Amino acid sequence: MDIKQLEVFVAVAKHKSFSKAARELFLTQPTVSSHIQNLENEMQCVLLNRNNKTITLTDSGKVLYNHAIIILNDCKKALYDIKEYSGKISGALNLVCSSIPEAYILPKFLKTFCDEYPNITFTIDHCDSNLVVPEILSERVTFGIVGSKSKHPHIRYIDLINDELVLICPSKCEIKNENGYININELKDLIFIMRKEGSGTRNLIVNTLNSSSVPISTLNVRAHVESNNAIIEMVKNGLGCSFVSLISVKDMIERGEIKSYRIKNLKFERNFYFLFSKKKFFTPTEKKFLEYFSSFYNLGIEIGE
């Protein structure tokens, strides 16, 4: 048994796929299969169930997986300590974000962090808020930033920043308003472009409107779109109106490219959350990121918690 075999085994277990593990490790699929077969021969047991479309761990595989994680983390720590001693902190981090944090929150922090630690690299995946938790629990990624919160005993959520949704309309759109506030009944006369199901933005819109006198089912919805940026461009080009995060359109509003309104007696507010697994054994590079992130946003996260 060698380190490469364990690395391949952990990658296959995380992705539940030989092909995805091969892509992550820049290996061919036959090479990945060969490493797993050699490892099983050495262990004299079957580590992976291959009968179904999804690959799963056998009981023996689960035991080895727990040990493999510790062994690989110890190896990473040894390399980290040596590089830290020589003044060259490096490593790789995997993050996942919903659309707003990915585009408007994370980049500013990463610029500062990378200036301090230029040898640390990142993989940043995008997915809807409701899919971030499974990515973290599977250990395909370590940290996430999302705009909605769902209870899970193994996930820790940290309040990050407050966000507000505003109604945006094409610049030529005229709506009766008082200092930027409109009556909720005005929404019935507009054409809307909405986010697809699964996004934290859509969840907030649906929950807020459904608790009002104008539920979302009464709106004239022209399209459901996955991308927040695509929705903004559609509104800018006159296809309809939408509710979007204020931080994503503030500059466009100031330039007069679109108009924005708030709804009287109705608040579209939420928090963005930074999250990670309570069961995760952090590598030194991940700890360094967590410490820096906590300090940057004044979150008070203690690594030993």
Same domain, 237 and 282: no
Decide if pLDDT at 189 tops 80.
Answer: yes
Same domain, 192 and 211: yes
Does any domain span residue 303?
Answer: no
Contact (CB, 8 A) for 283 and 91:
yes
Q: Which two tokens stand for residue 258?
A: 């679109």
Contact (CB, 8 A) for 238 and 126:
no
Same domain, 110 and 71: no
Same domain, 27 and 96: no
Burial (0-12, 13-18, 19+ Cβ within 10 Å), 149: middle
Same domain, 126 and 174: no
Decide if pLDDT at 87 tops 70.
Answer: no
Decide if pLDDT at 29 tops 70.
Answer: yes
Same domain, 264 and 275: no
Contact (CB, 8 A) for 147 and 204:
yes
Does any domain span residue 180?
Answer: yes
pLDDT of residue 26: 87
Decide if pLDDT at 31 tops 60.
Answer: yes
pLDDT digits (tens, 9 = 90+) for 197-234: 888 889 999 999 999 999 999 999 999 998 999 999 99
**In CATH, what number is assigned to the domain containing residue 98?**
3.40.190.10
Residue ending a domain, choose from 66, 83, 100: 83
Which pTM was predicted? 0.68
Same domain, 42 and 179: no
pLDDT of residue 86: 54
Q: From the CA atom positions of the chain, what is the Rg in Å?
A: 23
- Give the domain extent around 250: 164-269
Same domain, 145 and 204: no
Question: For residue 119, what pLDDT band results from cuts at 50, 70 and 90?
Answer: confident
pLDDT of residue 305: 45
In total, how many domains does the chain have? 3
